[in-house]
A and B are shown apart, each in its own frame.
Chain A
């Protein structure tokens, strides 16, 4: 069952901010929002994750709505190397049992144009 909904594709101009939306309306209280990306012919790469508060690291910012039903990944200054498929994933914080899964959906293909 798909727990997240993302647009299949987006375009962004190089140097501009890329804002990738994700809907997760059925998220439960103990589930985090994770973002990964996959550049062509490479394995998925972790970007950022969060529970309630907005998060920022050297790669991106994550904005989570107050009701936690949606989030936005922001790449502040997109470069050509950011062209990739971006996956939004919800996952339980429980580290044991079958809840500990990283289930990928279709993701959003972000194309950064020169």
Chain B
């Protein structure tokens, strides 16, 4: 398996534009997590899914952020409209959650909003 795949690796966009980040989890994993990392706040959990269903989105900053998981092999995190304070590295992770197990992270998407 190629691991968790995120795209794009880098994204630079102008304030006010819509940004879509993509994630392909490891095949067979039933949990998917979206994290955001900044120098100021560290690594924050935004939302996670179980079997494609959002379980906890309490970490989503505000209504400008939305996440979907239309099927077991694909998830998106959308920011509309984007703001400079959204600049961060966004990580996607997946895990097999029947028992305690490790979560595997993607390489991240570095988002810069100018």
Partners in one complex: yes
Complex CA gap A91/B48 in Å reads 15
Q: Does A96 contact B (CB under 8 A)?
A: yes
B55 near A102: Cβ-Cβ < 8 Å: no
CB distance from B47 to the nearest CB of A (A): 11
Query: Quick check: which of A11-19, A63-71, A76-84, A103-111 contacts chain B, the rest being far away?
Result: A103-111
Q: Chain A binding site: helix, strand, loop or mixed by DSSP?
A: loop
Given the interface pairs A49-B102, A95-B98, the reply to whether A104 lies near B50 with Cβ below 8 Å is no
CB distance from A77 to the nearest CB of B (A): 23
B43 near A104: Cβ-Cβ < 8 Å: yes
Complex CA gap A87/B42 in Å reads 11
Which of A44, A91, A93, A100 contacts B43, CB < 8 Å? Answer: A44
Of A44, A91, A106, most buried by chain B (CB within 10 Å of CB) is A44
Given the interface pairs A95-B98, A96-B50, A102-B33, the reply to whether A46 lies near B45 with Cβ below 8 Å is no
| Residues on the A chain within 8 Å of B85, using CB | none
| Residues on the B chain within 8 Å of A42, using CB | 107-108
Chain B contact residue count (CB 8 A cutoff): 25
Which of A43, A97, A98 contacts B91, CB < 8 Å? Answer: A43
Given the interface pairs A100-B31, A102-B45, A104-B43, the reply to whether A95 lies near B99 with Cβ below 8 Å is yes
| Residues on the A chain within 8 Å of B100, using CB | 32, 49, 91, 93, 95
* B→A interface (CB under 8 Å): 4, 31, 33, 35, 42-45, 48, 50, 55-56, 91, 93, 97-100, 102-108
Can you show 25 pairs from A to B with CB atoms below 8 A apart? A43-B4, A43-B105, A43-B106, A43-B108, A44-B91, A45-B105, A46-B102, A46-B104, A49-B100, A91-B100, A93-B99, A93-B100, A95-B97, A96-B50, A96-B55, A100-B48, A100-B97, A101-B45, A101-B48, A101-B56, A102-B93, A104-B42, A104-B43, A104-B44, A105-B42
* A→B interface (CB under 8 Å): 32, 34, 38, 42-46, 49, 87, 91, 93, 95-98, 100-107
Query: Nearest 5 A-B pairs (CB), nearest first?
Result: A43-B105, A46-B102, A104-B43, A95-B97, A93-B100
